[in-house]
Amino acid sequence: MTLRIGNASGFYGDRFDAMREMLTGGELDVLTGDYLAELTMLILGRDRLKDPAAGYARTFLRQLEDCLGLAHERSVKIVTNAGGLNPAGLADAVRTLAGRLGIPVRVAHVEGDDLTAAFPRALDSARPGGTPMGSLAAHAYLGGFGIAECLSAGADIVVTGRVTDAALVTGPAAAHFGWRPGEYDRLAGAVVAGHVLECGTQATGGNYSFFGRGDVRRPGFPLAEIHEDGTCVITKHPGTGGFVDVGTVTAQLLYETGGARYAGPDVTARLDTVRLSQDGPDRVRIEGVRGEAPPPTLKVGLNKLGGFRNEVTFVLTGLDIEAKAALVREQMGDALAKSPPAQVRWELVRTDRADADTEETASALLRLVVRDPDQAAVGRALSGAAIELALASYPGFHVVAPPGKGAPYGVFEDVYVPQGAVDHVAVLHDGSRLSVIPAQDTLVLETLEEPPLPEPLPAGPTRRVPLGLVAGARSGDKGGNANVGVWVRTDEAWRWLAHELTADRFRELLPESAGLTVVRHLLPHLRALNFVVEGILGEGVASQARFDPQAKALGEWLRSRHLDIPEVLL
């Protein structure tokens, strides 16, 4: 008895026609859509400030208008977190849409994650000092059993707010197979499957280090064939683009994770027990996953307005790039000194080259970013100072675009509350409300003891070449931290990588991490290392503290760095 769960969205703004593609491309029992991320919650929070009836992903409604009839004809259940900050509002909108289209569907939703108003003191006490936070949105990450209750009661469509990404898969699996809380190995297997599916085409060749291995111009969306024991096969519909192999699944398993214990509200999955094997073309089997009791607390994501930011990028062309940069920095410094912003950051990006045959390739970019709680300090103070230099600075002065008035930026923070502090409720299609009991058995999360290192590779001749010739990487953000997962494809390469790429060597290769805490985790069954770089993203993606605010390319930067690599591996 196999449950086929597909994914049609990895983020708010993903490929619009993916829902139709998944419903028409092959056999499917459940179709999920992940629309939420830390930044999305901030965007939806700002939407709701303008319109209290907003707060959900409107794209989902437009997709459903095109595909609801298909889903109904094929008896495919739809489970999505597109409800965002207003799951009840989206559920009502779906009912209205279904009524207008004349399609009889039962719509349920899950609520209880919104703690913005309900638990302000509890959240304050969860922060050091209990200081007010002025949060725009505060939402707990719920598990999958609310979804399971909705489906077990006959829902065709289940809308949620903030649940864990994997809950979109664990909920349907628990409902289909009758799993109960405490069946940790089965639940952990579904968590791993959900984690692979959650980012859509990242599991089928999208954003993949070795993308040249196949045609990834338009990767198909993934699906999981889940079995009653929690094992699964990751695959995709026949004839769709991209490819599924052990490497693409490994890459997604490492994405936005930390240590070997991957904690959630229903179960802690042990990533160090995951075993992958190729099960045929575009089929990867996942088995061996062990689970443990979940932690006694739930993660709560806090999104708040952190202040205002503005930026201007000066174009420096031709000769004397460094001197031109020094001149404009001094001029802007004098102007900004009258009302200095709280934060001022300069970055000179040397995109220029000597004797260039186009003006653009002869130019470097000097980027200035300012931040302050007061919009006035980053608005006219910056834009006026920059524009007034138009005829009074370095030769060839111009900017990429004129600076604006200063835009608000967000700050993300995570805190934790007891599982019992959240009223997790399944609102069934008939309007009845069913409380979901929080986890009764819990286990405080602890770091696992480091597994033994493999035998080192024998000494031999080496060549100084990029790490990426032998290793893949996938990186991403978790609040202000970034993770970089690095894996290799052979046992011999693992014997070298595990000894060579230490946390200290990581800091050497990526100097931006030199002054930060870098924690290395070993995952031998995946031939992988996972590095967590604490604080490199400041206060999260919405604060835009870095050039790459979500650390999407941090892993590719690492792969481009040169090391002495044994020739036997090349």
Domain count, the chain: 3
The answer to whether position 455 is within a domain reads no
Q: How far apart (Å, rounded) are the C-alpha atoms in residues 354 and 363?
A: 10
**Is the domain of 264 the same as that of 318?**
no
**Quick check: helix, strand or coil at residue 439?**
coil
The answer to whether position 239 is within a domain reads yes
Q: What is the DSSP letter of 26?
A: S
**Is the domain of 234 the same as that of 98?**
yes
Q: Tell me the residue range of the domain where 425 lies.
A: 3-301+414-435
Q: Name the amino acid, one letter, at 256.
A: E
pTM: 0.93
The answer to whether position 398 is within a domain reads yes
Mind spelling out the 3-state secondary structure of 91-122? HHHHHHHHHHHCCCCCEEEEECCECCCCCHHH
pLDDT of residue 497: 98
The answer to whether position 318 is within a domain reads yes
**Is the domain of 220 the same as that of 365?**
no
Q: What angle do CA 544, 545, 550 make, to 5 degrees?
A: 60
pLDDT single digits (tens) 313-351: 999 999 999 999 999 999 999 888 888 999 999 999 999
**Is the domain of 202 the same as that of 174?**
yes
CA distances from 534 to 180, 246, 398, 520 (A): 36, 28, 37, 11
Average model confidence (pLDDT) across the chain: 93
Confidence of residue 307 (pLDDT cuts 50, 70, 90): confident
Compute the average pLDDT of residues 180-208. 98
- Say if residue 123's pLDDT is above 60: no
In the block, tokens 């060749």 appear at 205
pLDDT of residue 233: 98
Of 209-223, 273-287, 401-415, 478-492, give the lowest mean pLDDT range. Answer: 401-415
**Is the domain of 467 the same as that of 380?**
no
**Is the domain of 423 the same as that of 472?**
no
**Is the domain of 476 the same as that of 520?**
yes
Helix (H) or strand (E) run with residue 559 in it? helix 554-560
pLDDT of residue 45: 84
pLDDT single digits (tens) 127-153: 444 333 356 788 999 999 999 999 999
% of the chain residues with pLDDT over 90: 81
pLDDT single digits (tens) 154-169: 999 999 999 999 999 9
**Is the domain of 278 the same as that of 319?**
no
% of the chain residues with pLDDT over 70: 97
pLDDT single digits (tens) 498-517: 999 999 999 999 999 999 99
pLDDT of residue 559: 98
The answer to whether position 62 is within a domain reads yes
**Is the domain of 91 the same as that of 49?**
yes
Of 35-39, 302-306, 427-431, 433-437, give the lowest mean pLDDT range. Answer: 302-306
The answer to whether position 144 is within a domain reads yes
**Is the domain of 407 the same as that of 419?**
no
The answer to whether position 393 is within a domain reads yes
Last residue of a domain, one of 400, 435, 470: 435
CA-closest candidate to residue 291, choices 170, 437, 472: 170
**Is the domain of 241 the same as that of 360?**
no
The answer to whether position 86 is within a domain reads yes
pLDDT of residue 133: 38
**Is the domain of 398 the same as that of 471?**
no
Compute the average pLDDT of residues 380-404. 92
**Quick check: helix, strand or coil at residue 77?**
strand
Q: Name the amino acid, one letter, at 551.
A: A
pLDDT single digits (tens) 6-61: 999 999 999 999 999 999 999 999 999 999 988 898 888 888 888 988 999 999 99
Compute the average pLDDT of residues 355-366. 97
Domain harbouring 348, CATH code: 3.30.70
Last residue of a domain, one of 411, 444, 477: 411
